[in-house]
Amino acid sequence: VSNFFEGRRHEPFHNDITHQVRCWADELIHSSYHSIGGDVQQQIAHTRQTTMADSSVIPLSETSIPNTDSDNDSSIVWIGLSISFAGTFFSALGLSLQRLSHKQNNELPLSQQKPAWRQGLNVLGILALVFGGLFALTSYGMAPGTILACMGAMTLVVNMILAPLLCGEVILLRDIWVNGIVILGTIIAVVFGPHRESEFTESELMALFETVRFVIYFSCLSIFVCTMLFLWLTLYNIDRPKTWCGSWCCFSKWTPLTRSRLLRITYPVLAGTIGGNTSVYAKAFVELCQTTVEESDNQFVYGGTYFIMFITIISAFLQLAFLNYGLKRFEALFVVPVYQCCFMISAVMGSMFYFNEVEQLSAPQIGMFSLGVCVSSFGILLHSTRREASFDDALGDLSGLDSLKLKVADDDEEEDISFHCEPILNESNTTAGAVLHDTMNG
């Protein structure tokens, strides 16, 4: 009996039911071994000594049986986390190279400037982003989505390291301790998060869409996304906001600065919330590919596989659209941290409710994991309060300025733009430089 179960020990298990049966089998071995007579125990001990030379026979411990499957699963998870960090590094490297390429190109005379596709550093940056995406997809099949989502916060940390090396940006002491908070939260979340990865078939993944927990989660998610879409559609034109259902939701009574700040939030929140769920659906698709390759069970003959592929592509498109439009209209120092925070929280919740990864955690682990996510999110949001010192220094104190005249270059033409600052300055308690910054970007 012991040799039979020990021989079966190295076969992988893919669900909690099989794992429970294996635990019962281990208990049966122990109880059977210790309940037999002493003569039979001596005979078993003699048999063990004579078969130790055979490497295929694993000796049965009289006190405990090591769970090699759990050890293997944990090793695979940590490999997946390492691959995820490599993807984070390449993504941050690609963004830094693109930023450096655009910076160098803008410093050239207008006649010597090149389009983006002819800039060598920009092309390298795109390739780095592609490699980062491939590493991220690979990690989806090796580790739970909850802890992989927390690893995404390390993008800001890697960017802080690369920014001064490649782009010559100045790193302040505040940036160091803010990133320290992000690292601390990520470590807590990864250590106490789920560490067991499972494989799924198409029928199992489609059944997860019908569970009560996912229906409740998706209903709350839909209400939140629809609310943010309502604000985005209403405030898209800051000067002329739309009026819905009478005056109770009329935003025209608000100041342009207030409407601009509210609109500025909708872009990264929508991109991050949709993007976090994109990672959940992408992980499901990777699981199907993994089952097809490793188990020789073709999952592409089922319609559910293409449904998961479809929602992954649609959500990815919406994610990139809102993120790019947000970066086009507002400053990246605010959009990127808020986007990253919403992405992480959405991906964690999506994995918890869809894959039911919370079932792997005890109550203390859930508390510590939630603490790590909150600490990491707090550190990410602190990044959004950082402003470029060069802009504030250039503006100086504009509190006594009634109007401002700017010269704006648009391709080969220049145009003088004049506007009055006094109404905005009188209605705000912030500094004139911050108000002007938001007004120009809005």
DSSP state letters, 102-171: HHHHHTS-GGG---GGG-HHHHHHHHHHHHHHHHHHHHHTTS-HHHHHHHTTHHHHHHHHHIIIII-PPP
Give the residue among 421, 372, 348 at the shortest CA–CA distance from 192: 372
Distance, in Å, from the CA atom of 389 to the CA atom of 409, rounded to the nearest integer, reads 23
pLDDT-derived band of residue 273, with 50, 70 and 90 as boundaries?
Answer: very high
| Structure-block tokens of residue 76 | 């695979």
Q: Give the list of residues 6+ apart from residue 437 with CB closer than 8 angstroms, or none.
A: 331, 387, 391, 395
User: How much is the pLDDT for 389?
Assistant: 45
∠ Cα 310 211 74 (to 5°): 80
User: How much is the pLDDT for 53?
Assistant: 46
Comparison of pLDDT for 258 and 60, the residue scoring more: 258
For residue 28, pLDDT beyond 80:
no
Comparison of pLDDT for 244 and 178, the residue scoring more: 178
Distance, in Å, from the CA atom of 423 to the CA atom of 404, rounded to the nearest integer, reads 13
User: How much is the pLDDT for 26?
Assistant: 61
User: How much is the pLDDT for 35?
Assistant: 52
Q: Mean pLDDT check: name the lowest of 27-36, 185-194, 279-288.
A: 27-36
Backbone angles phi, psi at 106, to 5 degrees: -70, -20
For residue 329, pLDDT beyond 90:
no
Amino acid in the structure at residue 78: W
Amino acid in the structure at residue 297: D
Give the residue among 191, 197, 142 at the shortest CA–CA distance from 365: 191
- pLDDT tens-digit map of 198-233: 788 899 999 999 999 999 999 999 999 999 999 999
If residue 235 lies in a helix (H) or strand (E), which one and from where to where?
Answer: helix 212-235
Distance, in Å, from the CA atom of 260 to the CA atom of 18, rounded to the nearest integer, reads 55
Q: Give the list of residues 6+ apart from residue 187 with CB closer than 8 angstroms, or none.
A: 372
Distance, in Å, from the CA atom of 393 to the CA atom of 389, rounded to the nearest integer, reads 6
Q: Give the list of residues 6+ apart from residue 150 with CB closer than 8 angstroms, or none.
A: 185, 186, 189, 190, 193, 344, 348, 372, 373, 376
- pLDDT tens-digit map of 183-198: 999 999 999 999 888 7
pLDDT-derived band of residue 75, with 50, 70 and 90 as boundaries?
Answer: confident
Tell me the pLDDT of the chain averaged across its residues. 77
User: How much is the pLDDT for 31?
Assistant: 57
Give the single-character DSSP code of 302.
Answer: S
The mean per-residue pLDDT over the stretch 341-355 comes to 94
For residue 428, pLDDT beyond 60:
no
DSSP state letters, 246-287: TGGG-GGGS-HHHHHHHHHHHHHHHHHHHHHHHHHHHHHHHH
| Structure-block tokens of residue 272 | 């991050």
